[in-house]
Structure 1
Amino acid sequence: MTAMHQSASPQPRAMVSAGRLWAGGGATAVVAALIAIVGILVGRGLFGVEVLAPKGAGIWGDASTFWYAFGAAMLSLVATGLMHLLLLFTPRPMLFFGWVMTLATVVAMLAPFVTDNDLGSRMFTAGLNFILGVAIGSLVAGSAHTAVRTVPAPRRY
């Protein structure tokens, strides 16, 4: 009975341009690393807040500045990989990606509060993590929108 109500024309399929998605992911990684560096410079230089390292380490801090920026870049690539998998295998990839990114950003914002640093340092680091989460999520999602193309399904005779 259901065969009588099926559409005569096959449904279009979504094709993912992996090159376009991963190029956007690479660009997102660069942006995220730069946001982390700018955030650390603003926190330490303008506000004198301890972000990742004590004030005695100077505005640039120590090696942890590099690792924070590197981690932000790597998390951008992880988010791109997740998006790629979601695009290939889930029915509503953007919805699932939005939930994952929102929850991951909340975790990143709460993480500084388990340290013994002063409240200002914890608040600033949580804010920086929020900005990074929003930037990574929106840039990867935007790249995914441009990487997905709808193509007509082949006709069956």
Structure 2
Amino acid sequence: MYPNDPYDNRRRDGGGAWDDRTRAYSADPYARDQYAQDPYAQDQYADPGYQQQYAAEPARKAPRPPRRGPQINIGLFIGGVVATAVVTALASWLVAWIIRVISQRITETGKFGVWNPVAQDEYWFAVVGGLCALFAGALWYVLQLTTPSPDQFFAWIVGLLVIAAVVLPLLLSREISTGIGTAVMHLVIGLPILFLIRAMGARSVEYR
């Protein structure tokens, strides 16, 4: 024993030393001395260099989990929209041609006066129908990305536009025959867009 040593923690009743690691007396009288001489037993977290090293390291971000949910097959959707535009253009051209032929036959009889229910020719309606289908496809895609219920919003927007396009010619046309013919053409353009674009969009959505 070292009675004059103030750092001697060994017990006087049989030896032993206070172990700082276990916070208890050790049976080994030299446990404290060995622990004090062991360079690896010191607390490394108290080293300023160690703290600066890990403080300088940027925090590692956890990897972002893969996105799950509905995904749009762009190629399939574009193909469906183009096919809808072709169908709308053909339907518009065909209905406009039928209306023009019927009006010419009625005009030739001379009993009901001169009929001109279609203000434009059938090719103009075909081009307008195809362009409207393309714009409707773009609208559905934007709604799919930005709204929680794209099909319902699309149905409301297109449905209201179709109703306005049918009612306005009936109210604003000077001749009732022209108003009826234009309203029929607008309805022919709007119905394929309203139903086919939604169907093509639903078919192009893939769930992962």
Answering whether residue 201 of structure 2 is matched by residue 144 of structure 1, we say: yes
**Alpha-carbon separation, structure 1, partners of 2:178 and 2:141:** 35
Q: Deviations over 1:71-103 (max 9, x none)?
A: 110000000000011111110000000001101
Answering whether residue 81 of structure 2 is matched by residue 15 of structure 1, we say: no
Answering whether residue 94 of structure 2 is matched by residue 38 of structure 1, we say: yes
**Alpha-carbon separation, structure 1, partners of 2:122 and 2:191:** 20
One-letter code of the match for 1:45?
V
SS at the partner of 1:15?
strand
Does structure 2 conserve the Cα–Cα contact (< 8 Å) formed by 1:43 and 1:50?
no
How far off its partner does 1:137 sit?
Answer: 1.0
How far off its partner does 1:70 sit?
Answer: 0.6
How far off its partner does 1:127 sit?
Answer: 2.1
Does structure 2 conserve the Cα–Cα contact (< 8 Å) formed by 1:34 and 1:69?
yes
Answering whether residue 172 of structure 2 is matched by residue 108 of structure 1, we say: no
Identity %: 26
Does structure 2 conserve the Cα–Cα contact (< 8 Å) formed by 1:18 and 1:147?
yes
How far off its partner does 1:26 sit?
Answer: 0.4
Count of matched residue pairs: 132
**Alpha-carbon separation, structure 1, partners of 2:131 and 2:189:** 12
2:129 to 32, 48, 72: 72
**Alpha-carbon separation, structure 2, partners of 1:95 and 1:11:** 24
Larger Rg belongs to? 2
SS at the partner of 1:149?
strand
The TM-score, its normalising length taken from structure 1, stands at: 0.76
Answering whether residue 118 of structure 2 is matched by residue 52 of structure 1, we say: yes
How far off its partner does 1:12 sit?
Answer: 4.8
**Alpha-carbon separation, structure 2, partners of 1:120 and 1:145:** 38
**Unaligned stretches of 5+ residues in structure 2:** 1-65, 105-114
1:89 to 118, 142, 146: 146
SS at the partner of 1:69?
helix
Which is richer in helix? 1
One-letter code of the match for 2:91?
I
SS at the partner of 1:41?
helix
Q: Deviations over 1:93-114 (max 9, x none)?
A: 0000000110110121123232
- Comparing 38-47 with 75-84, greater Cα deviation is found at 38-47
SS at the partner of 1:52?
coil
